[in-house]
């Protein structure tokens, strides 16, 4: 498979647009949540865009992903309808999940997006199941579990490494280590190392700079190729960081005073992407500026429409508990 | 039609549905057994031999032995169901739900609702329940009330071999997640069971006895005890209607209420603990919806609010018995007579 820097101009524009969409989506949700316009619990993915997009650029609708409570980025990267997502986060009837799921449960199975998940570590077993489906039905699909450093300590995740190995599943576990499980540092909470854990279960392992789209893209290519060819599961330790708190409203007093500012200045995946593609003259700044403007307009439109959209009504309360009952 | 055990009836439903639909796979600990070991392959067919022989017909690709990792494989069943398979996972003992319940009640049960009706999760968890095996507190519980409590799950409790085959066939064909409870003391019970595939609809109670004096509503294995009690009581002129709801979710409220109103006296027999049980659930339903028809208090015959004991001397008095059911019926039949005498 081609290295990320050999991607076509069109593919690079798609990748950048997706990352920019995630960033603007999250920045806008932050703004609207702060203004009191969004109910419930919201966890933002800004700063981690290269991970979701670098992986999902390799996936299509036969492939499945499971996400976390921090799921907006994975959903956008996997092709969920962005406006439907925004309506969902605002609790609207025409949201992607009819307003029944909200930020923590955004899903679209037709896109292979098995859901953001309110239970930390719950996605890994589900991905074993999706991978089993692909293997049993011979679809050629793979299944990717995004799990945080916090979720990496759940028994479900570790059991799933083992099950994926003994069933030789086309599964990939992407441990997005943003440095903190809620307010607790992964440096403290993770015994051993992520890669060491993967090796312990016999998985192919990688450690990758999650700020660098191209590094992610190349690593993902390798892990996905292994899975598609029947070579079994991989673990990718993705080192990255989030721009916002664990949840919206988190004062982040556990972080160093200058940490987020330094992160934005030195390790922003969008800035790094821009530098790489303009330095190598594959794209020019104007190409990217044009996307920036278009995405901003698009996200503003999604928010405006979401605010105007109808709420669900009492007649929606008891629908879709069962297929039949 | 031929005589089959509860065990054979379950195996027949699995076999016929696996032949009918290539998307049906089964998974569980030692569900074939002997994997990777030097001796016999398909060594166990599950701990009580229910799935023995399925591996020979369907292969290791569809009869999936698992590590002892209930969270991982029950969750995998949920993920597989949401993506196009129709898995039947075997949770060896329902007592082990403690290590995998999240995957059932926060994941499989909620996908459809949380995802706005776009998810279909056709999975079955077959599990063994019930006391009587001297298996003590962690291998003898009933626990079906806990699953019945959860919207999004269906719960089936077959009371004999005929019911087991028909309800399991329905469970596998059903598009919602189903928890299928097999009582470990019934696997060798035999009766006539049709050879051809058939499904018994969920939420439609079976009235196994018809009488005038008392309605006994019983669940799972307790249906057999209720039938026996009814037959004994009939010899003394007390006739009972016995209702087997077959599924606790959905629940056939109509049949329960109609039969309760017909006799005006209700006994509920539930092998689970009494608090927040099917017994208390049915009592609440009848009290709320059929109060005016009642001639006597509703009586509950259940296990006590205590873990299942090991010692045979204790376990035998722990489990609801035919004698306890008869005593409850007699008590409420006499209730009106006593009141009249006073």
From the number of C-beta atoms within 10 Å of its C-beta (0-12, 13-18, 19+), residue B221 rates as buried
Give domain B206-341's CATH architecture. 3-Layer(aba) Sandwich (3.40)
Residues of chain B contacting residue A129, judged by C-beta atoms under 8 Å apart: 75-83, 85, 87
| CA A260/CA A278 separation, integer angstroms | 25
DSSP 8-state secondary structure symbol assigned to residue A238: E
R_g over Cα of chain A:
19
Residues of chain B with pLDDT > 70, as a percent, come to 99
Q: Is residue A324 part of a domain?
A: no
Q: Is residue A325 part of a domain?
A: no
Which segments of chain B belong to CATH 3.40.50.920?
Answer: 206-341
Q: Is residue A321 part of a domain?
A: no
> What pLDDT is stored for residue B337 in this prediction?
75
> What pLDDT is stored for residue A2 in this prediction?
52
Residues 6+ apart with CB under 8 A from B44: B30, B31, B32, B33, B34, B52
Q: Does an H or E element contain A286, and which?
A: helix A285-308
Nearest CA in chain B to A312: B116
Catalytic residue from among B139, B149, B183, B273: B139
| CA B222/CA B181 separation, integer angstroms | 13
Alpha helices in chain B (DSSP H): 6-20, 54-58, 70-82, 101, 111-114, 144-148, 161-173, 222-234, 253-263, 278-289, 312-318, 322-341
Task: Tell me whether 0.90 is exceeded by the ipTM.
Answer: yes
| CA B35/CA B65 separation, integer angstroms | 7
Instruction: Report mean pLDDT in 10-residue bins for chain A, 325 residues.
Output: 79 97 98 96 97 98 97 98 98 97 96 97 98 98 98 98 98 98 96 98 98 98 98 98 95 95 97 95 93 98 98 97 97
Q: Does an H or E element contain B249, and which?
A: strand B247-249
R_g over Cα of chain B:
20
Specify the CATH number for the domain of residue A69: 3.40.50.970
Q: How many residues does chain A have?
A: 325
Q: Does an H or E element contain B87, and which?
A: strand B86-93
B107 and A134 within 8 Å at the Cβ level: the answer is no
Is a pLDDT exceeding 80 seen at residue B244?
yes
CA distance B112 to chain A (A): 6
Q: B2-193, superfamily in CATH?
A: Thiamin diphosphate (ThDP)-binding fold, Pyr/PP domains (3.40.50.970)
Strands B24-28 and B63-65: parallel
A101 and B114 within 8 Å at the Cβ level: the answer is yes
Q: Is residue A196 part of a domain?
A: yes
* Number of domains, chain A: 1
Is a pLDDT exceeding 50 seen at residue B181?
yes
Provide the 3-class DSSP secondary structure of residue B45: coil
How open is the CA angle A230-A234-A235, to the nearest 5 degrees? 170
Mutate which of A159, A167, A309, A318 to disrupt the B interface (most B C-beta within 10 Å)?
Answer: A159
Residues 100-159 (B) with a CB less than 8 A from some CB of A:
102-103, 106-107, 110-120, 151-152, 154
Query: Tens digit of pLDDT for each residue in B5-33?
Result: 999 999 999 999 999 999 999 999 999 99
Mutate which of A322, A324, A325 to disrupt the B interface (most B C-beta within 10 Å)?
Answer: A322
B76 and A108 within 8 Å at the Cβ level: the answer is no
Give the mean pLDDT of B310-323: 97
Phi, psi angles (nearest 5°) of residue A238:
-100, 115
Residues 10-29 (B) with a CB less than 8 A from some CB of A:
23, 25
Q: Is residue A323 part of a domain?
A: no
Which residue range is the domain that position A72 belongs to?
Answer: 4-316
Residues of chain B contacting residue A99, judged by C-beta atoms under 8 Å apart: 116
* Nearest neighbour of B117 by CB, restricted to A119, A122, A320: A320
CA distance A244 to chain B (A): 26
Contact, B63 vs B24, CB < 8 A? no
CA distance A167 to chain B (A): 8
Using the Cβ of B201 and the Cβ atoms of chain A, whether some distance falls under 8 Å is answered with: no
Provide the 3-class DSSP secondary structure of residue A208: strand
Q: Is residue A87 part of a domain?
A: yes
Q: Is residue A260 part of a domain?
A: yes
Contact, B154 vs B179, CB < 8 A? yes
Using the Cβ of A132 and the Cβ atoms of chain B, whether some distance falls under 8 Å is answered with: yes
A132 and B152 within 8 Å at the Cβ level: the answer is no
Mutate which of A125, A157, A165 to disrupt the B interface (most B C-beta within 10 Å)?
Answer: A125
Query: Tens digit of pLDDT for each residue in B100-146?
Result: 999 999 999 999 999 999 999 999 999 999 999 999 999 999 999 99
A125 and B62 within 8 Å at the Cβ level: the answer is no
Q: Does an H or E element contain A222, and which?
A: helix A213-228
* Nearest neighbour of A162 by CB, restricted to B67, B119, B151: B67
Instruction: Kindly list the distances between the CA atom of residue A102 and the CA atoms of A66, A91, A96, A99, B253, in Å, as whole numbers in the listed order.
Output: 16, 6, 9, 6, 33
> What pLDDT is stored for residue A1 in this prediction?
46
- Does the annotation count B305 as an active-site position? no
Using the Cβ of A312 and the Cβ atoms of chain B, whether some distance falls under 8 Å is answered with: no
Instruction: Kindly list the distances between the CA atom of residue A116 and the CA atoms of A76, A179, B78, B171, in Å, as whole numbers in the listed order.
Output: 11, 20, 15, 28
CA distance B302 to chain A (A): 27
- For chain B, helix (H) and strand (E) counts, in that order, are 12, 14
Residues of chain A contacting residue B18, judged by C-beta atoms under 8 Å apart: none
Query: Tens digit of pLDDT for each residue in B150-175?
Result: 999 999 999 999 999 999 999 999 99
B72 and A110 within 8 Å at the Cβ level: the answer is no
Is a pLDDT exceeding 70 seen at residue B291?
yes
Is a pLDDT exceeding 80 seen at residue B338?
no
Nearest CA in chain A to B72: A125
Residues 177-206 (A) with a CB less than 8 A from some CB of B:
none
Contact, A199 vs A205, CB < 8 A? yes
CA distance B72 to chain A (A): 5
* Nearest neighbour of A98 by CB, restricted to B23, B110, B117: B117
Mutate which of A129, A132, A230 to disrupt the B interface (most B C-beta within 10 Å)?
Answer: A129
CA distance A61 to chain B (A): 11
């Amino acid at each position: 498979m081609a290295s990320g820097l050999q991607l076509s101009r069109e593919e690079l524009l798609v990748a950048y647009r997706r990352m920019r969409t995630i960033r603007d989506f999250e920045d806008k949700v932050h703004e609207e949540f702060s203004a009191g316009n969004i109910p419930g619990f919201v966890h933002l993915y800004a700063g981690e865009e290269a991970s979701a997009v670098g992986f999902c650029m390799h996936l299509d609708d036969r492939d499945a992903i499971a996400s976390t409570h921090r799921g907006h980025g994975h959903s956008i990267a996997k092709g969920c309808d962005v406006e439907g997502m925004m309506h969902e986060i605002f609790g609207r009837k025409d949201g992607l999940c009819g307003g029944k799921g909200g930020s923590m449960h955004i899903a679209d199975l037709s896109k292979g997006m098995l859901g953001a998940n309110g239970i930390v570590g719950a996605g890994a077993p589900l991905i074993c199941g999706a991978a089993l489906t692909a293997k049993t039905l011979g679809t050629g699909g793979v299944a990717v579990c995004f799990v945080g450093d916090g979720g990496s300590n759940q028994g479900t995740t570790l059991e799933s490494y083992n099950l994926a190995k003994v069933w030789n599943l086309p599964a990939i576990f992407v441990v997005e280590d943003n440095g903190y499980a809620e307010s607790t540092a992964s440096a403290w909470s993770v015994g051993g190392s992520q890669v060491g854990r993967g090796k312990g279960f016999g998985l192919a392992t990688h450690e990758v700079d999650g700020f660098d789209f191209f590094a992610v893209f190349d690593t993902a290519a390798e892990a996905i190729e292994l899975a598609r060819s029947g070579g079994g599961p991989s673990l990718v330790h993705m080192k990255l960081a989030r721009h916002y708190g664990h949840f919206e409203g988190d004062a982040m007093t556990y972080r160093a005073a200058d940490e987020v500012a330094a992160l934005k200045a030195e390790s922003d995946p969008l800035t790094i992407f821009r530098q790489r593609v303009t330095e190598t003259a594959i794209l020019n700044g104007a190409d990217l500026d044009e996307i920036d403007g278009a995405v901003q307009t698009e996200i503003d439109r999604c928010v405006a429409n979401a605010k105007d959209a109808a709420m669900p009504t009492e007649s929606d309360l008891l629908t879709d508990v069962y297929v039949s009952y | 039609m031929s005589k089959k055990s509860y065990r054979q009836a379950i195996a027949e439903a699995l076999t016929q549905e696996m032949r009918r639909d290539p998307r049906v796979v089964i998974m569980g600990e030692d569900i074939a057994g002997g994997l990777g070991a030097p001796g016999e392959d398909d060594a166990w067919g599950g701990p009580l031999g229910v799935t023995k022989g399925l591996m020979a017909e369907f292969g290791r690709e569809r009869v999936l032995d698992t590590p002892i990792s209930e969270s991982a494989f029950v969750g995998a069943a949920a993920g597989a169901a949401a993506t196009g398979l129709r898995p039947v996972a075997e949770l060896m003992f329902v007592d082990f739900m403690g290590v995998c319940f999240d995957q059932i009640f926060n994941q499989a049960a909620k996908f459809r609702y949380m995802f706005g009706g776009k998810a279909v999760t056709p999975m079955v968890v077959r599990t063994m329940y019930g006391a009587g095996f001297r298996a003590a507190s962690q291998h003898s519980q009933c626990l079906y009330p806990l699953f019945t409590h959860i919207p999004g799950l269906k719960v089936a409790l077959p009371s004999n071999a005929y019911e087991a085959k028909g309800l399991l066939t329905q469970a596998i064909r059903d598009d919602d997640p189903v928890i299928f409870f097999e009582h470990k003391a019934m696997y060798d019970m035999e009766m006539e069971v049709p050879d051809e595939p058939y499904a018994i609809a969920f939420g439609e109670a079976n009235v196994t006895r018809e009488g005038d004096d008392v309605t006994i509503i019983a669940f799972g294995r307790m249906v057999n005890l209720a039938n026996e009690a009814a037959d004994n009581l009939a010899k003394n002129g007390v006739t009972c209607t016995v209702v087997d709801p077959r599924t606790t979710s959905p629940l056939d409220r109509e049949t329960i209420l109609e039969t309760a109103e017909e006799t005006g006296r209700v006994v509920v027999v539930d092998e689970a603990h009494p608090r927040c049980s099917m017994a208390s659930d049915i009592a609440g339903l009848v009290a709320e919806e059929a109060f005016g028809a009642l001639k006597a208090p509703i009586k509950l015959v259940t296990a006590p609010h205590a873990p299942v004991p090991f010692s045979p001397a204790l376990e035998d008095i722990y489990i609801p018995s035919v004698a306890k059911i008869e005593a409850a019926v007699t008590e409420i039949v006499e209730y009106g007579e006593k009141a009249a005498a006073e």
